[in-house]
A and B are shown apart, each in its own frame.
Chain A
Amino acid sequence: GQSLEQPSEVTAVEGAIVQINCTYQTSGFYGLSWYQQHDGGAPTFLSYNALDGLEETGRFSSFLSRSDSYGYLLLQELQMKDSASYFCAVRGNTGKLIFGQGTTLQVKP
């Protein structure tokens, strides 16, 4: 089967850096995606890692270690608008994208 684990909640202050971890177990692995979802809204794609290492997109970076079945999303220079839920998702050897349960990030002033 496939499963993903990520923390349920994270709190940080404006301007800080926060890391949201994701560990996964899958039968077959192609890559790890990250999505952002503001309260009740549509999830939006943030990043994808197919290979080991760090991918940077502006204030957001995503990291993958295939040998450790582990990845993380790094958010720098936090802003109030970054308060949202963040989901990691794994593409395995099926036609499915399996999502984690999500991490709610609260950014405080």
Chain B
Amino acid sequence: EAQVTQNPRYLITVTGKKLTVTCSQNMNHEYMSWYRQDPGLGLRQIYYSMNVEVTDKGDVPEGYKVSRKEKRNFPLILESPSPNQTSLYFCASSLDRGTLYEQYFGPGTRLTVT
């Protein structure tokens, strides 16, 4: 089954404790992206990657890191999480840059930082 998977689905952590949210897709997609969703603010893009070893900042990159060492994986790293990073996070992918208008989303990771 074609899908985007994220782990963990739920995470409660404390301020400053480094964490990684994994994202993997099995569709051989070139384009991958991370979003955060907060009430009333819609989906805001954190980072995106057009292909392996190519990443770029979205609209809200502060406090986050990403890497794209393999085509299928695009982990999101919070080196020192803070309470304002409490949010619902989605990973998404599309075939390539030309089709980024049609993105496939993972199930989401609900993160709480206390």
Contacts and interface: CB of A to CB of B under 8 A. Distances in A.
Given A87-B43, A101-B41, A44 B105 contact: yes
A40 B108 contact: yes
B90 A96 contact: no
A95 interface: yes
Contacts of B45: 96-98
B-side interface size class: 20 to 34
Interface in B25-40: 31, 33, 35, 40
A98 B31 CA distance: 15
Given A45-B103, A48-B102, A96 B48 contact: yes
Contacts of A91: 100-101
A43 B43 contact: yes
Contact of B104 (A45, A95, A96, A97): A45
B3 to A, nearest CB: 10
Nearest to B105: A42
Interface of A: 8, 30-31, 33, 40-45, 48, 87, 89, 91, 95-102
9 contacts: A42-B106, A43-B105, A87-B42, A95-B31, A95-B56, A96-B58, A97-B33, A99-B35, A99-B43
